[in-house]
Structure 1
């Protein structure tokens, strides 16, 4: 890098160009698009949702209470139910019909979701793959037996795939309520081959079933101020928009089954043996997981099947849904956990195959998750949190279904262990998003999956500083963000239309929030604003605009550019260092000037022939014939004269105190030019390495791009000479090309592999199992 000199006096210059308003113009302007306010991209504030992001003065939401009785037929894998729904119209609108969700109808052969996806053949196909091609021949889906009002009068209804409209004989006016009575049944699906969120898993070795009952009852759709009825069909991906209410549920199951469910059991004393009930009471104060139903008892239960039934009774207050597990294969452990001064029962249910992992980790991960999320959002409000091992990952209020099974010899790989911890953290975390902060999952998957994945990342890192979190760190989203544009869509995309669902709805929003917290806002501002969002919208129905507005309102940080780029766009971060120019103040010291001038003169005068002639000992004419030499042959053009010294002394004495301080500082000025190649504006994080080996980092706000979104030049003053410059040294911004982040350029190694690893099913063991090898087992 060539050094240039700055000459005193220093001048303060102002632009000679007038300031002009610049409209956002995506068709040619080099600025004015990425930093404009979101404006019409989000809904206008109103009396229901304020411009600050807080619920408005006339905010309202509906309520639905449920009284349900259900009977599980373990021989026929059939569920029969009868329920009474009390629906409260808290809206200002008269309602002439109501919409209910019949999610089990996603398995019906006539539902659109069975046909509207493309398909292809491969060399290896599972039964689930084949069934997807053949279509189901089973009699699946909800059968409505009877539907009446509270007085027993039949109501007219229409079933449209997974939605059911009930036509009311009398308009339900604001402030009124109506009772609906529904009798129904359905054949439970095999979720291991037919997919879906709920269903059964069959264990051939002992001839028993594990039932994870979710989306199992007709339930009210959401009617809201911002979209009316949310009656978009359930196709298996976009999850749920649900109404809060109270539940009273009776579940009749085989007498030897263990049941865990949303809420609190009202009749443990009748359902458990005397010793089991005693253990349950001991667990109320236990600081370690205590087995209420032991492994020996679970194994003993597999030896025979009860011919009688028991009815478990559960109640849950102010929840949006209800789910349960039932099986005779379950170990059940529990312990009391203090969460923000409140006792919460953390519990786990799992089969013998999961015992080596779940007995050690599951309930403690549940407790840790509740504490971590409570610290970052709001204190966990419910009395219970349950983790169930069911070879999947799905969430409901107070209960979730996860994976994590050991090998038959009781060993497990580190990948299986960490995967289990991660999925339990994630699914338990869903209690906060969206079970409490109740966003519309069917419309905006990222509002529950992305926010939850972000909180999961924080909880994982608080669990173990070395935990290998797969989503959250900025550099881990790079492979997704540099995909071809036709494979990408904005985060603000409906669930059904997303190609790369995991990266888009989980990883990218989690990464964006992590960047907001660590790089854009800082932890203090971010944490306050994020907690404020959770507090404002707990037990309510937020939209993206409510999150965006709250984060800005509570922090005084303008983030519209960030939401616009990360959530409404698909551009990646790719900032390059284009050039570096080095300047020093010209000291005008004749000794220094002379030395520098001589070096420059010699460099300019030198050439290859001159160098080689000198090396070969060529006899030059002016040396052989001294008469050719004159005054200039011996004149030192770079000699410092007395006149030069006098001028220098006069110059120094003429400096003002401020100029003298700058003069004495010997500052190095570096003019660095950057290019925004990717398009997504980002802060500049610049690491300087000095000649003495020390380093320092400058952080420049993304607002540096506001006047030119593609190119920017900035001057930095340094006390020491710089030998290297690096952008984003800690990989905070998700820059997709690190090869242009260095000056001088640094060659980064690329990697190749001979074989592409086959993607494994979720929760399966990946890589070696050192535990098994240590025990002498065979891989």
Structure 2
């Protein structure tokens, strides 16, 4: 869903969403530790590599649905037959279904209340006396019959937005169960009551535009990682759904145009001959062709036929079915070829005349661009249809989505509306991939569909227009959110219902994090391969967060646990500061003074304390020590440790260091030009990131350097790095391209480089290694005693 208006149970395993640290008081050993037990243990169903295991399974549900749209009463009457397949290793005593329309009921909704305060202003039509007890507003699902295939009633219980069917006998592995449900509900005015489905009324012509979504009792997911996903639907956390085949027929007014998930099987019966001919032309056209024209839509608005017709749809291997119906629709379409699998797709748009000047020009082209670009970054688009419906909001379903984008009455539009429309079309069409195909649990983890989808939306917007004003993806756009007080933040790894800043948390922050991984940490080639691997592994399956994290690590050979820990499990921001710059110059004549080096004597290395094991071994007459019986092993140190060799440990000894020599004269001039610049950094925000520097020199030239985030691994709070340049620095800029989402750029610049305040010795080394006798800064006692 495109987040526009919203401004909320942690996971069942509390630790899953927490940044568990090994030693929070330490300055190291926390941010770079493995996720370890934070992630669920790999098993027969899900591997440690992030791929589905040998025992992976998922259940399935096929639907055969009929629907009758009563436009006068704004009521939908329906009947469905569901065949549910138990592919799990478990015996199932009952089935759970979702009744999402109960969200609109005043007495059957999930009951997730929010607090309220006295208003400063309120519209008069909303001001009314509080009714206690709450009265039924007439919305929500009315169940008429629930029965098996033989017509026998089934026992069931409705708990708010969930329905449990108690099976007449246990459903075992490999078995299926078929049952039927008849129901109806009053269609809500979604422009007033909100929600994703309902009707919008157009007062000027008296017509309705229906978006029929979450409209049928549909199966919950039963999985290896949760069992039944039957968390209540509050309007926030979206959907966990199973794949299956759908046959759906809609009985609507004869002048309505219907679009839905899947393909229409009876165009000959529902279109005029002219419309059917245009449909056939569109199937081979590379430009959008109007199948239902603007003039035809305007005429239908006025006539309002009372006759009826039936549209028949089929959709294979989809997780949901949504549809739309109105006599206001203009309809255009064109063919799109997906290069990766040569799939021939019909890209189509339906829209009222109020959106004509925008949708006719851009919508279908944006649909085509989206499925082709997403196919490049994930998997080839597998379905035969992709559709964008203008319905004044944004929401997604398989092969169909609802978007906004209307013009002024004179047909003009602002650039903001144009770009917003294109962005929402890309986003909602993109949801075909996340989560319609890579089918994550939206009820639990909003970021797995919204965040991943927003990331690829950003890549697709960038391919649409190099100047497209993307609001989510670039690192600098998340800074204001990351600056918020920590009591207003929660980790990305938070259940959908508990998020306060839903848009930044579920959409922007994960999308930004992935873009930082791609552009700044991993690089495009490495990231793109790993991301495609995840999409390929989990297409038409049910991935969990650990599957994504592990796959990205596995396919790239990059240990990214530090990133997942910080960006997804934590709330710390990025704020790296340049604290100090120290300059030192070389002293190329200092080494001769240092050739003779003074050392003290190394003390005996035997333990200062005789432990219990040594005492017992010494007193055990059955133990004979090797060195006591082999005189050849009793060297100087055997005697030294026993006080048999005397060395003056207080004396200072001088050794000749012949490993260094003077720098040749021919090299001195060049070496004297070099200055050493030690830059001291501090991690004020807490979230580790690469250190990216741009150096500007006094001659105007520039150089850049990037240190990986691992530079912080031994001290997560402070680090220094020294550079050697043969020309003078003028300034240092940290994160010059704003790649890391640093929340305070005032400490990212150092513009007053001091002159050298110290010198460091420079020497020519004759051979590798330390001077003899000084490996540990001490003279060895054998040297001091003059013995061998």
TM class by smaller structure = 0.7 to 0.9
How far is 1:745 from its partner? 7.2
What is aligned with 1:641?
none
CA distance in 2, matches of 1:356, 1:557: 48
Contact 1:107–1:114, Cα closer than 8 Å, also in 2: no
CA distance in 1, matches of 2:523, 2:665: 35
Contact 1:739–1:745, Cα closer than 8 Å, also in 2: no
CA distance in 2, matches of 1:571, 1:128: 44
Aligned length: 663
1:214 paired to 2:221 = no
CA distance in 2, matches of 1:229, 1:131: 40
What is aligned with 2:199?
200
What is aligned with 2:641?
none
Contact 1:53–1:548, Cα closer than 8 Å, also in 2: yes
What is aligned with 1:438?
439
What is aligned with 1:520?
521
- CA spacing shift, 1:325–1:482, aligned 2, 3 Å: same
1:645-684 to structure 2, matched below 5 A, reads 655=662, 660=667, 664=671, 666-684=673-691
How far is 1:27 from its partner? 3.7
Q: What is the DSSP-based 3-state SS (H/G/I as helix, E as strand, rest coil) of the residue aligned with 2:157?
A: strand
CA distance in 1, matches of 2:704, 2:313: 57
Contact 2:189–2:198, Cα closer than 8 Å, also in 1: yes
How far is 1:133 from its partner? 7.8
- CA spacing shift, 1:661–1:174, aligned 2, 3 Å: farther
- CA spacing shift, 1:201–1:708, aligned 2, 3 Å: same
Contact 1:320–1:397, Cα closer than 8 Å, also in 2: yes
- CA spacing shift, 1:661–1:554, aligned 2, 3 Å: farther
Contact 2:578–2:682, Cα closer than 8 Å, also in 1: yes
How far is 1:119 from its partner? 2.1
How far is 1:112 from its partner? 5.1
Q: What is the DSSP-based 3-state SS (H/G/I as helix, E as strand, rest coil) of the residue aligned with 1:164?
A: strand
Listed one character per residue, the Cα deviations across residues 746-775 of structure 1 (whole Å, up to 9, x for unaligned) are 9xxxxxxxxxxxxxxxxxxxxxxxxxxxxx
| Range 149-158 or range 79-88, more displaced | 149-158
1:36 paired to 2:37 = no
1:728 paired to 2:727 = no
- CA spacing shift, 1:258–1:705, aligned 2, 3 Å: same
CA distance in 1, matches of 2:664, 2:691: 34
Listed one character per residue, the Cα deviations across residues 199-251 of structure 1 (whole Å, up to 9, x for unaligned) are 00011111110000000000000000000000000000000000000000000
What is aligned with 2:630?
none
What is aligned with 1:81?
78
CA distance in 1, matches of 2:23, 2:666: 45
1:700 paired to 2:707 = yes
| Range 518-527 or range 109-118, more displaced | 109-118
CA distance in 2, matches of 1:129, 1:670: 67
CA distance in 2, matches of 1:58, 1:130: 57
CA distance in 2, matches of 1:708, 1:289: 59
1:26-65 to structure 2, matched below 5 A, reads 26-65=23-62
1:275 paired to 2:266 = no
Contact 2:531–2:552, Cα closer than 8 Å, also in 1: yes
CA distance in 2, matches of 1:99, 1:658: 86
1:246 paired to 2:235 = no
Listed one character per residue, the Cα deviations across residues 594-630 of structure 1 (whole Å, up to 9, x for unaligned) are xxxxxxxxxxxxxxxxxxxxxxxxxxxxxxxxxxxxx
Listed one character per residue, the Cα deviations across residues 650-703 of structure 1 (whole Å, up to 9, x for unaligned) are xxx954679948954732211110000000000000110011111111000000
CA distance in 2, matches of 1:399, 1:307: 27
1:397-546 to structure 2, matched below 5 A, reads 397-546=398-547
- CA spacing shift, 1:719–1:258, aligned 2, 3 Å: same
| Range 117-126 or range 240-249, more displaced | 117-126
Listed one character per residue, the Cα deviations across residues 136-191 of structure 1 (whole Å, up to 9, x for unaligned) are 85300001100111221110000000000000010000000000100110001111
Q: What is the DSSP-based 3-state SS (H/G/I as helix, E as strand, rest coil) of the residue aligned with 1:303?
A: helix
Q: What is the DSSP-based 3-state SS (H/G/I as helix, E as strand, rest coil) of the residue aligned with 1:337?
A: strand
Contact 1:128–1:195, Cα closer than 8 Å, also in 2: no
Contact 2:258–2:326, Cα closer than 8 Å, also in 1: yes
Contact 1:291–1:331, Cα closer than 8 Å, also in 2: yes
Equivalent residue for 2:105, pick from 103, 108, 111? 108
What is aligned with 2:368?
367
CA distance in 2, matches of 1:435, 1:661: 68
CA distance in 2, matches of 1:730, 1:703: 20
Listed one character per residue, the Cα deviations across residues 103-129 of structure 1 (whole Å, up to 9, x for unaligned) are 000111124545611123444446897
What is aligned with 2:726?
719
Q: What is the DSSP-based 3-state SS (H/G/I as helix, E as strand, rest coil) of the residue aligned with 1:534?
A: helix
Q: How large is the Cα RMSD of the aligned pairs?
A: 2.1
- CA spacing shift, 1:412–1:571, aligned 2, 3 Å: same
What is aligned with 1:741?
748
How far is 1:583 from its partner? 1.7
CA distance in 2, matches of 1:31, 1:538: 39
CA distance in 1, matches of 2:164, 2:665: 80
Contact 1:131–1:194, Cα closer than 8 Å, also in 2: no
How far is 1:585 from its partner? 1.4
- CA spacing shift, 1:298–1:661, aligned 2, 3 Å: farther
Q: What is the DSSP-based 3-state SS (H/G/I as helix, E as strand, rest coil) of the residue aligned with 1:302?
A: helix
- CA spacing shift, 1:131–1:426, aligned 2, 3 Å: farther
Contact 1:99–1:220, Cα closer than 8 Å, also in 2: yes
CA distance in 2, matches of 1:458, 1:395: 19
Q: What is the DSSP-based 3-state SS (H/G/I as helix, E as strand, rest coil) of the residue aligned with 2:451?
A: helix
What is aligned with 1:263?
262
Contact 2:62–2:84, Cα closer than 8 Å, also in 1: yes
Contact 2:426–2:457, Cα closer than 8 Å, also in 1: yes
Contact 2:46–2:547, Cα closer than 8 Å, also in 1: yes
How far is 1:422 from its partner? 0.4
What is aligned with 1:234?
233
CA distance in 2, matches of 1:327, 1:658: 90
Q: What is the DSSP-based 3-state SS (H/G/I as helix, E as strand, rest coil) of the residue aligned with 1:248?
A: strand
| Range 255-264 or range 719-728, more displaced | 719-728
CA distance in 2, matches of 1:388, 1:461: 23
Q: What is the DSSP-based 3-state SS (H/G/I as helix, E as strand, rest coil) of the residue aligned with 2:336?
A: strand
Could you list the runs of 5+ residues in structure 1 that have no partner in the other structure?
Answer: 1-22, 590-652, 747-779
Contact 2:586–2:672, Cα closer than 8 Å, also in 1: no
Contact 1:262–1:322, Cα closer than 8 Å, also in 2: yes
1:98 paired to 2:95 = yes
Contact 1:105–1:141, Cα closer than 8 Å, also in 2: yes
Listed one character per residue, the Cα deviations across residues 351-397 of structure 1 (whole Å, up to 9, x for unaligned) are 00000100000000000001111100000000000000000000000
What is aligned with 1:626?
none
How far is 1:131 from its partner? 9.0
CA distance in 1, matches of 2:250, 2:155: 28
- CA spacing shift, 1:162–1:562, aligned 2, 3 Å: same
How far is 1:587 from its partner? 3.9
CA distance in 2, matches of 1:530, 1:131: 52
1:513-592 to structure 2, matched below 5 A, reads 513-588=514-589
Q: What is the DSSP-based 3-state SS (H/G/I as helix, E as strand, rest coil) of the residue aligned with 1:120?
A: coil
- CA spacing shift, 1:562–1:425, aligned 2, 3 Å: same
1:302 paired to 2:316 = no
How far is 1:485 from its partner? 0.5
CA distance in 1, matches of 2:487, 2:447: 20
What is aligned with 1:318?
317
Q: What is the DSSP-based 3-state SS (H/G/I as helix, E as strand, rest coil) of the residue aligned with 1:96?
A: strand
Contact 1:382–1:398, Cα closer than 8 Å, also in 2: yes
What is aligned with 2:783?
none
- CA spacing shift, 1:299–1:131, aligned 2, 3 Å: farther
- CA spacing shift, 1:127–1:495, aligned 2, 3 Å: farther
